[in-house]
């Protein structure tokens, strides 16, 4: 399972729709959708800190669910709101059911795992 992290310097606001299109075309069954987080003492944190893009040093906010840096091509609010929109769109009940039904073709255990992860992702508290 891969994780889609959102907002690299090259990403514009259209990255959310492109990501949704890619996930649909690839027939991905489950994908955690997270905000890129520059964890302390990492090269990413150092790079963003040098540019003055770190918004907070409150390490409790470094959760992949909160924006803790200033993205290059969108506001922090746009990053957060569009990530939420993408998650809600991706884990809409009808889309979850379609992915769960499709997974049954791969056997009982893939079906159970896909169902479990889609249901968990749909109902987990996000942000």
Name the residue among 42, 25, 30, 43 with its Cα closest to residue 4: 30
Residue 98 has which token pair? 């379609």
Q: Collapsing DSSP states into helix, strand and coil, what is residue 33?
A: strand
Residue 59 has which token pair? 């390490």
Encode pLDDT of 26-85 as tens digits: 999 988 889 999 999 999 999 999 999 999 999 999 999 999 999 999 999 999 999 999
Q: How far apart are CA 115 and CA 106, in angstroms?
A: 13
Band (pLDDT 50/70/90 cuts) for residue 112 is very high
Find the domain containing 38 and state its range. Answer: 4-123
Q: What is the pTM (predicted TM-score) of this model?
A: 0.85
Q: How far apart are CA 55 and CA 105, in angstroms?
A: 46
Q: How far apart are CA 64 and CA 101, in angstroms?
A: 29
């Amino acid at each position: 399972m891969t994780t889609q992290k959102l907002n690299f310097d090259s990403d514009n606001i259209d990255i959310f729709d492109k990501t949704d299109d890619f996930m649909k075309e690839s027939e991905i069954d489950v994908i955690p959708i997270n905000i890129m987080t520059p964890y302390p003492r990492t090269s990413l944190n150092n790079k963003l800190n040098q540019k003055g893009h770190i918004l907070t040093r409150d390490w409790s906010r470094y959760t992949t669910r909160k924006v803790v840096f200033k993205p290059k091509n969108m506001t922090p609010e746009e990053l957060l709101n569009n990530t939420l929109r993408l998650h809600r769109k991706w884990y809409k009940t009808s889309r979850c059911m379609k992915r769960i039904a499709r997974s049954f073709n791969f056997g009982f255990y893939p079906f159970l795992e896909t169902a479990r992860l889609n249901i968990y992702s749909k109902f987990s508290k996000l942000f």
